Amino acid sequence: MGNVTVIGAQWGDEGKGKIVDWLASRAEMVVRFQGGHNAGHTLVVGDQTYKLSLLPSGIVTGTPSVIGNGVVLDPWALQSEVERIRGQGVEVTPDVLRIAETCPLILPFHRDLDALREDASGAGKIGTTRRGIGPAYEDKVGRRAIRVCDLAHLDELEPLLDRLCAHHDALRAGFGEPPVDRERLRNDLAEIADFVLQFARPVWRDLDAAIRRGRRILFEGAQGVLLDVDHGTYPFVTSSNTVSGTTGSGSGTGPGAAGFVLGIVQADTTRVGSGPFPTELQDETGRRLGERGREFGTVTGRQRRCGWFDAVLVRQSVAVSGITGVALTKLDVLDGFETVKICTGYRIGDSEFDYLPPHAFDQNRVEPIYEEVEGWPGSTRGARSWADLPARAIKYVRRIEELIRCPVALVSTSPERDDTILVRDPFAG
């Protein structure tokens, strides 16, 4: 049995939460390796619904859960989420939750800067969640971040604050804001330190031990490949690498630890916020897809934009992230359509492309080239075997496999954990 890495293969919101929860019930450790509390996973277990942002999905089942060093951690958001999930009867102890000592912290002035920049950007808004994710990553690579381990050495914080505030005070002045309140920041950090430090540890050692013992590890990505800072629709992306290659650097394991890479793909396409979206439907069909899929962001509550399945973009995600197999979700959203369209290429003027050009100007000009396939009259909702699916729905799945050049390993037919068709067991490699 091997490890599994789960990543979104579109713009996020593909239904990762249900798939990760399904896999987490069979894993022996679950690891978050990038992103922050801008991610949102919804888990439905029986009559309980859990909404997670920072906490790995294994926390619900009591599986040892790791927040790796590639995550940017808002300690106050973490405390709020832990308290909320404890209120739902989930135990969150240091035996279950483990946080890398080297995680950078998201601080209040990161949130301030995120919002100030977005408000000042006018037509250049990128649709940030305003949670301080980007500014925190900037401080990390700028070597001025306050990290989890610094909470145990608050008396030694002054040199770091000098470097940090020299940067942020200048930025804040440019927006007409006062300097960082250093005394308040020190007090806030002192108040939250003990809560965070109870979970802090050298998690790379835990992971190394688990790998040596042959434990099944589930690496849980946030957002989607198309939001990767290098491979996504830049600049309308997140501030971290979301591809499977980040598994090792974001957790403290070698590149071979990723194991089976499972890309989550929904049967249509959705996107939250700004940025190009070649197959977007701003008509009754788009509204119908949104209503059926209940397309609202878990974290932001923003309504998602909806469109037909884009095989070109998913094929790119498969290639740049080394996806072994995909989990196809929300197939039931397409139930009842007489015909269904799949984007197989793009056209700009007289030129055709089998990939999305990298420049935003070209991305906004592309016209999708569609292939039309027969829809199906029956329902796929709740199906748990191929025999439960309409023949045309199976034909649709098979055509997607051909176009994205990757096999389907799982088919999810509702938010319920057990409404899943298993084609290939990711943990079996």
Annotated catalytic sites, by residue? Answer: 13, 41
Output phi, psi for 402, to 5 deg: -65, -45
Looking up tokens 């198309």 gives: 226
Alpha helices (H) in 175-236, listed in sequence order? 182-197, 203-212
Residues 6+ apart with CB under 8 A from 312: 278, 343, 344, 345, 346, 353, 354, 355, 356
**H or E element at residue 118:** helix 108-120
How many whole angstroms separate alpha carbon 102 and alpha carbon 249? Answer: 12
8 Å CB contact between 298 and 81: no
Q: Are strands 420-422 and 41-45 parallel, antiparallel or unpaired?
A: unpaired
How many whole angstroms separate alpha carbon 33 and alpha carbon 389? Answer: 35
How many whole angstroms separate alpha carbon 414 and alpha carbon 429? Answer: 25
Question: What one-character DSSP code corresponds to residue 106?
Answer: P
Q: Are strands 41-45 and 48-52 parallel, antiparallel or unpaired?
A: antiparallel
252: left (phi over 0), alpha (psi -120 to 50) or beta: left
